[in-house]
Amino acid sequence: MIIGIDHGYSAMKTKHCCFPSGVSAYEHEPYTNRGVLQFEGKYYVCGTGRQPLIRTKTENQNYYLLTLAAIAQEIQFRGIPPKADVVLSAGLPLTTFGREKRNFREYLLGKKNPAVFRYEGISYEIHISDVKLFPQGYSVMAVRPDVFVGEPSVLLADIGGWTLDIMRLDNGVPNATTCRSLELGVIRCQEEAMEIVRRDTGLSVTDAQVERVLAGKHCSVSEEAVRLIQQAGRTYIQRILSAIMECGFDLQAIPSVVLGGGAALFKRYVTPQDRLCRLITLPDVNLNAAGFERLAEQMLKR
């Protein structure tokens, strides 16, 4: 069984599941069974908040624990017995792919294989037989090749929680010299919006409230707070457009495909005055994971 996983700073995604990437450790059984992972004698609640920023995802065991939780959720969704052989398929930014590939593969394989754990009261025995790694963002071509048909050059922008990964595709092939990874993910927008609201109104709004307002949904905060958050969303998109231009891309000349958690935000706050050549947004947050899975399937078939 192949399971694709997108290890984000804000959320963990599989082909069918998505949950926040936070982990809270407990020495004793916690108050809830939801999202609880029991591993090596300790309890962890997975899905609380988001992952703190770390330089590499292999610095501590949090992403390994989140990987086990993601495997369990995907197995539950597919209705498969909790004892299984799994090929993991995951991704890394193209700019750091070569440097981090070996360490991340060994990290996901784990020190103990099979991994024996309990998740939400169910016992699992998962043997990770292999790990396939692919570039983030580019994997979208495996599931949505139609968006690139007839375009000789396309800018691909993957807006995640912490990073904005961009690359240009020429005739469907990544141009390696154009790949950039910028610290301009959606978390930056949320934090700046929270600070602006706190500074101008004295209100301490939450991440969840900011996220809801940015998505254009109703939220019971003051009209002034809503206006400031929406203004921060537009300012954030302007920063992204400016950063992309500074990297040498002209979005008024080539089409742009935007995916990841920030795709819907990008579509909402881009205006006609930005005069983009052609904008294609793919707001499905599970798209990268589905792409990793499809690429692994193709590789194993060959």
pLDDT tens readout for residues 211-246:
999 999 999 999 999 999 999 999 999 999 999 999
Task: Output DSSP code: residue 275.
Answer: -
> Which helix (DSSP H) or strand (DSSP E) does residue 230 occupy?
helix 223-246
Confidence grade of residue 137 (pLDDT, cut at 50, 70, 90): confident
User: pTM of this prediction?
Assistant: 0.92
The sign of the dihedral angle between the CA atoms of 282, 288, 292, 294 is negative
Q: What's the pLDDT tens digit per position in 48-63?
A: 877 777 778 899 999 9
- Residue pair 5/70 in contact by the 8 Å Cβ criterion: yes
Mean pLDDT value of segment 146-163? 92
Q: What's the pLDDT tens digit per position in 5-40?
A: 999 988 999 999 999 999 999 988 887 789 999 999
> Which helix (DSSP H) or strand (DSSP E) does residue 188 occupy?
helix 186-201
Q: How far is CA 232 from CA 69, 84, 210, 247, in A?
A: 34, 46, 10, 23
- Residue pair 117/37 in contact by the 8 Å Cβ criterion: yes
Is the pLDDT assigned to residue 287 strictly greater than 90?
A: yes
